[in-house]
Structure 1
Amino acid sequence: MAKEIERKFLVSGDEWKDLAEAGTRLTQAYIMGGPDRSLRVRIFNDQSARLTIKIGTAAMTRDEYEYDIPIDDAREMAEHATGVIIDKTRYRLPDGDFVWEIDVFHGAHAGLIVAEVELPDEDTQPAFPEWLGREVTGDNRYLNHTLSTTGGVPEETE
């Protein structure tokens, strides 16, 4: 079974920008969702696509299944999105044994910048860069599925 174990933080500085790889524009539409599961389609730079199923309610660990799908199918599925389609640019920043992914949101979520790091297990403690802000792991307001249903930036980041 595939597991996603990650920690999520708000970003409070710009120092990451000089260290990050080129960004990838992501269009992300949620097709179905509930309190413990979601089904989304994600389009990468308008060239490729992936379908993702996430199941679970734990703060750091969830079951995750991903499948590449034809871009035309993804565009059609996105037309059936529940809520707001998320538009963001994802930057990758390798840091030792870890890779930080920094999401800069656009559109309805403009102003929100979130960093995530995937971990091999919940006990792993990566070094935390100085540009990280408050940890929001387990804060449902910062789940992309929640952002798609609320249509805006959580209050404290505005």
Structure 2
Amino acid sequence: MRIRNDQAFLTIKGERRGLIRPEFERAVPFSWASTLLSRLPPETLIRKTRYEVGFAGMTWEIDVFDGRNSGLVVAEIELEHAEQEFELPDWVGAEVTFDERYGNSSLAVRPVSTWPAAA
């Protein structure tokens, strides 16, 4: 369930196959989302602010996390197909596409604040 401004969405993501991961999203009444989210343990909710940044003809989604994931910033783009070429901005850091720790479902139960410090 996602809330953006005063709109709510049910988002379902399928299993990743390489770079491809199906995603389905549908608008739902705000009251549904609000009620559902209010019944979940607060510590399992992902809180982030999403920014959209244009670069080299692509729109990058930049997620700046709050709460127990504070300090984490993730950038991603939606490709039309797995072989699509794109220019990588110099402000993008490490590639984490296949690192399951960075998925929202993982961050909800194992936030970055619980990760061991880098050696």
Q: TM-score range by the shorter chain?
A: 0.7 to 0.9
Q: Deviations over 1:127-158 (max 9, x none)?
A: 0111111100111011111101213345468x
Q: How many residue pairs are counted as aligned between the two chains?
A: 116
Q: How many Å separate the matches in 2 of 1:62 and 1:48? A: 24
If the length of structure 1 is used for normalisation, what is the TM-score? Answer: 0.67
Regions of 4+ moved over 2 Å = 79-83, 151-157
Q: How many Å separate the matches in 1 of 2:76 and 2:63? A: 8
**Counterpart position of 1:150:** 110
Q: SS where residue 86 of structure 1 aligns?
A: coil
Q: Greater RCO between the two (CA within 8 Å, min separation 6)?
A: 1
Query: Is the helix fraction higher in 1 or 2?
Result: 2
**Counterpart position of 2:83:** 123
Q: Which consecutive residues of structure 2, in runs of 5 or more, have no partner in the other structure?
A: none
Q: SS where residue 145 of structure 1 aligns?
A: helix
Q: How many Å separate the matches in 1 of 2:105 and 2:96? A: 15
If the length of structure 2 is used for normalisation, what is the TM-score? Answer: 0.87
Q: SS where residue 77 of structure 1 aligns?
A: helix
> Which of 59, 66, 70 is equivalent to 1:106?
66
Q: Deviations over 1:7-66 (max 9, x none)?
A: xxxxxxxxxxxxxxxxxxxxxxxxxxxxxxxxxx00112x11000111113242112111
**Counterpart position of 1:12:** none
Query: Is the strand fraction higher in 1 or 2?
Result: 1
- Cα RMSD of the aligned pairs, angstroms, is 1.8
Matches within 5 A, 1:8-157: 41-45=1-5, 47-81=6-40, 84-153=44-113, 154-155=115-116
Q: Which consecutive residues of structure 1, in runs of 5 or more, have no partner in the other structure?
A: 1-40
